[in-house]
Amino acid sequence: MRLRLGDIIGLVIAVVITLVLENHMKKCMSKTINRESFPKGFVFGTAAAAFQYEGAVKEDGRGPSVWDTFSRIPGKIADGSNADVAVDQYHRYEEDIELMKDMGMDAYRFSISWSRIFPNGSGQINHAGIDHYNKLINALLSKGVEPYVTLYHWDLPQALEDKYKGWLSPTIIRDFSTYAETCFEKFGDRVKHWITFNEPHNVALMGYDLGFDAPGRCSILLHQLCKEGNSATEPYIVAHNMLLSHALVADLYRKKYKKQGGSIGISLDVIWSEPATNSAENSAAAQRALDFQFGWFMDPLFFGDYPKSMRRRVGSRLPKFSKSQSALLKGSLDFVGINHYTTYYATPSPNITNLLHDYIADSDALTLPFNGTNIIGDRANSIWLYIVPQGMRSVMNYIREKYGNPLVIITENGMDDPNDPLIPIEDALKDEKRIRYHNDYLSNLLASINEDGCNVKGYFAWSLLDNWEWTSGYTSRFGLYFIDYKDNLKRYPKDSVKWFKNFLKPTQ
């Protein structure tokens, strides 16, 4: 076959373009990020929760929580386990702080167990609980690790659930405020970063609509797992009382304890929603999905009321704020904590969803990791967690554009592997997938800061250690450190620990 001059020129151009593209790709692949890629003062840390980590549930005067009760109901936890021991950080906190320090982490986000401070939820203070958290905070600071403290990470004292149904009663606003002020008084001279609630959306949805989490209330169609509840109203009541509790506590902190030199915020979970197709219907569904998950809490905190789509669709079942409550809520935070893991496609809900008579039906937004032709990303171990790094950048820009670019801290981000007893430990430590996950999500976070101007000042990996993962029990491993549940909870560094040590190491 003879080549004409035009064919030869075309072939040469194609080869040159290919070489240029390959060279560009190599440069992109070789471009690495590290601590110094981020703005000066950017904080890196790991995150944990008291109930998932501490264990020692019957020691030093701690009272039971709703999760102690719930985890003992047969069939609620995947492997039938409970968190009585968890990863025993109550006794091993000094060892774990050394692990953080060795990695080069700046901070540790942990939660205080309300029932360690007030075993009955209110009334008499348990000084042994105060002593424990004083020792933990002092140990962190002695190693140069800054404490970021969450006041409520799901473990409501069971006594308050028994007394007045917990978050369903406005009485809890007063009791939460008393608990929070006790923490400010006892620890605020050293704790400069407070988070009132972790993922109130998940508490309302999973605990009071679907009934899958503590306290396990629901009434949706064909759901035989809940003894009581009302899925059409209770999620909204719970969210309302949590928002009012946050506003009151933030106001209290600013008026009486701001002199301690700290800040206060809240941590909200965000699954980014992409329209399943470019249709107007799917775009509207994606916005409703964001309104009903994220806007449910962000809009009151920034605008003083729930999203208009919620007001329109939920109607009289959605509680109303008084003028004074709205004023107290608006601007009641110094930073927004964002827990972001994954992204889904959104479409309008199928008609059958209306039979549920609940929050999910109200939203008219079906969110799934596939759109009929494409899977949105590679899956981690958890059935809900698909790896979509660009979702991080989308969330950051949504916050910047809709809410005026407030200060954001990523308070959780990470992925899990299965707890497979057939995999040797040395193989379980090779977590290249987790390394790619953190690298790619951090790269998108960095782009949102440097290229888009998003106001982000911190990143906390979930989690330092493998731990008790709520209804998944011990079947899920989110940790940078592997926990050997068969050998005295021994901690082993995964390859991701080495990656973070290199990432956080100052360059010369």
Query: Catalytic: 412?
Result: yes
User: What CA–CA distances, in Å, run from 42 to 148, 430, 458, 481?
Assistant: 14, 28, 5, 23
**408-412 and 456-461 strand pairing:** parallel
Q: Cis bond leading into 463, ω under 30°?
A: yes
| Structure tokens, 223 | 């759901």
Single out the catalytic residue among 54, 161, 199, 234: 199
Q: Give the number of other CB atoms < 10 A from CB of residue 399.
A: 24
What's the DSSP call for residue 507? P
Single out the catalytic residue among 54, 161, 234, 412: 412
Across the chain, how many H-helices and E-strands are there? Answer: 19, 17
Q: Give the number of other CB atoms < 10 A from CB of residue 327.
A: 13
What's the DSSP call for residue 456? E
Report whether 216 contacts 313 (CB < 8 A). no
**272-275 and 343-347 strand pairing:** parallel
| Structure tokens, 33 | 């990020």
| Structure tokens, 240 | 């309302």
C-alpha 286/C-alpha 280 separation (Å) is: 10
- DSSP reduced 3-state for 154: coil
Report whether 425 contacts 484 (CB < 8 A). yes
Rg over CA atoms, the chain: 24
C-alpha 392/C-alpha 270 separation (Å) is: 10
| Structure tokens, 498 | 């080495």
Name the β-bridge partners of 346: 275, 367
Q: Cis bond leading into 421, ω under 30°?
A: no
Query: Catalytic: 199?
Result: yes
What's the DSSP call for residue 354? G
Q: Give the number of other CB atoms < 10 A from CB of residue 390.
A: 16
C-alpha 369/C-alpha 44 separation (Å) is: 29
User: What CA–CA distances, in Å, run from 267 to 106, 114, 277, 409?
Assistant: 19, 17, 30, 9
- DSSP reduced 3-state for 79: coil
Which string of b and e fits 74-110 if b means at least 16 CB within 10 Å?
A: eebbeeebbbebbbbbbebbeebbebbbebebbbbbb
**Looking at the annotation, which residues are catalytic?**
199, 412
